[in-house]
Amino acid sequence: MTAKVIQLNMSEPLNIDLTAPEWYLNRELTWLEFNKRVLWEAEDSRTPLLERVKFLAIVSSNLDEFFMKRIGGLKQQLGAGISELSVDGRTPLQQILACYTVVKEIEAKKQQLFQDIKGLLFAAGICIAPYQTLSSEQQKHMRTYYLQNIFPLVTPQSIDPAHPFPFISNLSLNLLAGVSVLASDTPTLVRIKVPVSSKIPRYIQVGEEHLYIALGDLIANNLDLLFPGMHIAFCELFRVTRNAVTEKDEDQADDLLEMIESELRERKFAAVVRLEVSSTMGKLQSGMLAAELGLNEEQDVFVVAEGMAMRDLFQIASIARPELQDPPHHPLEHSKLLNAPNIFHAIREHGSILLHHPYESFVTTVERFVKEASRDPNVQAIKMTLYRTSAGTKIVQYLIDAALNGKQVAVVVELKARFDESANIKWAHRMESVGIHVTYGVVGLKTHSKVIYVVRQDFNGLRRYAHIGTGNYHAGTARLYTDLGLLTCDPKIGADLTELFNYLTTGLVPKRYFQSLLPAPKVLKNSLLKKIEREIQKHSSASPGLIQFKMNALEDFDITQALYRAAQVGVKIDLIIRDTCRLRPGIPGLSETVSVISVVGRFLEHSRIFYFQNAGEEEYFIGSADCMTRNLESRVEVVTPIENLEARAILRQIINTQLKNQRSVWEMHADGQYIQRRPTGELQEFGAQEQLIQLTHKRFKEAQSGKLKPAKVKRKQTHVKLGNAE
């Protein structure tokens, strides 16, 4: 929905109602706009070919989650008869229908790009081919492969009065076939699940070359093995998406772990929210499927010409063809830790060390921190929060080692981390089995903070060390997401973390006082609102105000409204927002001092930075929270101040590099649309992330050569110098 009023009569006194829905963009639609920007990376000829395939897969995976989480939630509201309007003035049904329009645009673009990219892949020696185009010898070879490796796993299920409609699992690929004894007979409908798994890839390689056929295509062209001597009237592909929003009331749960396990079982059988069918499927068949699945045939059925479930294209994108991929990126070891024999001594020497992943290594910083803590005889206790992790991350094993070494270890595991609940339950059981104190946070709140807290007996008494980050303790995403972290032994932060963990393990709130940290849900939102108000009060022509936020999302109404108020008095506001953004920039009299940009590149932007100029007494913060209502009011988050001058200089470099960049930046307009900046010269051809790779290498080399000078951070920024990267 575009703003009702974009141009205002500046000769009249401004009296803008900041609660009016026209000033706020829709959360779901702005998130879909983000996926349009990601899809552009698949279209952009400057992107290496296999990376273009990867971006097709990313958008497809994102849309699957969008239907499971966002559309699923809206449909629940619709089913419950909720008529409350969103901040931008839409009912649940209006939001669903508006989203469907945009999704269909994205899907049409995806299918067109898939055709184009397949042609480019073919020219590069990689071919995804229909089974029917294979030579007779290749077909014979693949039939033998199918019989030996796949056929025993295929189970046809008839759909007739004796065989009720089968259960269709979430995101599974399926074939709907019409089978009869004679061609003149009415065919019996048969469902065949395509057994894609970690053991059986979606795309089957033919011979030794990079020639691939889709698994469903292989099965469909060998149905005579399943139905010998029978007539196959048709065989079409379909897929369903189920609602993932099945959360129960924690207040009614005697055992949170048991409740989550029950919730996971229910999710498996949750209502279907989307049906995808091949474009060649008949209306009779697609209508029957929609009816059996309880869907509206006109609204909830999405026709796919080719390339259903493109998330499986991650397999093709990973083909080892370096010339068709981004140049390899190898995270650097942090210069302050490279030659340090003891990480705790290094932290104590420097006071605080800022980490920037994936430019700097997660393994040799964060994992090393926990590893040394688990083995250091002077470490007495380790506490941490765990939202998401991976089998490739060694942190859990180091925690187990610490417990076996006699240290006190306590871990707050978030069981409700969407789509990671099952994995987190397994991690919790494993840690409990060796004596680690595992708790599940505070009832009614998700623990989303990223904190490791270590108590060590130093030469002069107990000292508290910590890592506070913006990203999960997940080795895989640490190579793909841009995140920040702080290693520190600041006594105020240590004291605050003692309070935080006492809160997390007891749920008791009264009279907890935080000197330095801004935790949610009790402190962070009010603190941000007060700091925005302070910027308004201190703003003047002699000392213009400046607020800069870098986040994944700006969704919270109160924060958005406060930023509007700041912009109305002339405070300059720079927002680097990856996806959802409710605020409309550039509206005269309301937000003309606001710029909103989004950075899309080879890494997923995931770090959060909050900057307030504060009339020259600058403040920098990093942390786990976005400006979303759920983060600020329904989650335990931790945002920490950055006091170290060198760390502040790095944060300034990150912000300014992204604000200035001309290659990977999209600028938002008042109607919610984004326009990509276009470089005008060779020096502008590098994306923001590529520039940060170069700057990290430069900083590392300077540190190694001893040429790195102590950082100097200007106490005052002006509007003129905002765009300059340091």
Indicate whether 123 belongs to any domain: no
Do 464 and 523 have their domain in common? Answer: no
pLDDT bracket for residue 103 (50, 70, 90):
very high
- Per residue in 582-635, pLDDT tens? 999 999 999 999 999 999 999 999 999 999 999 999 999 999 999 999 999 999
Do 462 and 564 have their domain in common? Answer: no
What does the pLDDT average to over 644-671? 97
Helical residues (DSSP H) of 296-362, grouped into ranges: 297-300, 314-317, 343-350
What does the pLDDT average to over 212-223? 97
Domain residues for the domain of 495 are 343-506
Do 356 and 310 have their domain in common? Answer: no
Do 571 and 613 have their domain in common? Answer: yes
Domain end, chosen from 284, 305, 320, is at 320
Q: Is 415 buried (19+), middle (13-18) or exposed (0-12) by CB count in 10 A? A: buried
CATH number of the domain where residue 445 is located: 3.30.870.10
Indicate whether 39 belongs to any domain: no
C-alpha radius of gyration, the chain, whole number:
27
Pairing of strands 446-447, 635-641: parallel
CATH number of the domain where residue 143 is located: 3.30.1840.10
Whether 558 and 532 have beta carbons less than 8 Å apart is answered as no
Do 437 and 348 have their domain in common? Answer: yes
**Distance, CA of 428 to CA of 528 (rounded, Å):** 34
Cα 466 from chain centre: 25
Indicate whether 163 belongs to any domain: yes
Q: Give the per-residue pLDDT at 264.
A: 53
Distance between first and last Cα of the chain? 38
Nearest Cα residue to 464 out of 487, 485, 490, 486: 490
CB-based contacts of 29: which residues, under 8 Å, 6+ apart?
A: 95, 98, 99, 102, 672
Indicate whether 328 belongs to any domain: no
**Using CA of residue 83, residue 87, residue 90, residue 93, what is the dihedral sign?**
negative
Q: Give the per-residue pLDDT at 259.
A: 52
Indicate whether 90 belongs to any domain: no
pTM of the model: 0.91
210, 334, 350, 448: the active-site residue: 448
What does the pLDDT average to over 38-43? 98
Do 541 and 614 have their domain in common? Answer: yes
pLDDT at 713 over 50: no
Do 275 and 247 have their domain in common? Answer: yes
pLDDT at 7 over 90: no
Domain end, chosen from 452, 479, 506, is at 506
Do 309 and 365 have their domain in common? Answer: no
Crossing angle between the packed helical segments 92-123 and 49-65, to the nearest 10 degrees: 160
Indicate whether 174 belongs to any domain: yes
- Per residue in 510-551, pLDDT tens? 667 899 999 999 999 999 999 999 999 999 999 999 999 999
Q: Which residue has the higher pLDDT, 59 or 425?
A: 59
Cα 238-242-246 angle, rounded to 5 deg: 175
Indicate whether 57 belongs to any domain: no
Do 299 and 151 have their domain in common? Answer: yes
Range 286-290 contact pairs with CB under 8 angstroms and sequence separation of 24 or more:
286/238, 288/189, 289/176, 289/238
Peptide bond into 510 cis (omega under 30): no
Could you give the number of structural domains in the chain? Answer: 3
Q: In sequence order, what DSSP letters do the residues of 619-661 get, joined into one string?
A: EEEEES--BSHHHHHSEEEEEEE---HHHHHHHHHHHHHHHH-
Nearest Cα residue to 287 out of 176, 160, 163: 176
Do 477 and 616 have their domain in common? Answer: no
Domain end, chosen from 476, 506, 536, is at 506
- Per residue in 399-416, pLDDT tens? 999 999 999 999 999 877
Nearest Cα residue to 187 out of 139, 223, 138: 223
Average pLDDT, rounded, for the chain: 91
Query: C-alpha distances in angstroms, 222 versus 143, 234, 404, 726?
Result: 7, 13, 55, 62
Q: Give the per-residue pLDDT at 704.
A: 80
Tokens of 488: 């520190």
Do 489 and 526 have their domain in common? Answer: no
Tokens of 672: 């919610």
Q: What is the 3-state secondary structure (H, E, C) of 90-132?
A: CCHHHHHHHHHHHHHHHHHHHHHHHHHHHHHHHHCCCEECCHH
Output phi, psi for 367, to 5 deg.
-65, -40
Indicate whether 471 belongs to any domain: yes
- Per residue in 151-169, pLDDT tens? 999 999 999 877 889 999 9
Q: Is 329 a catalytic residue?
A: no
Do 485 and 561 have their domain in common? Answer: no
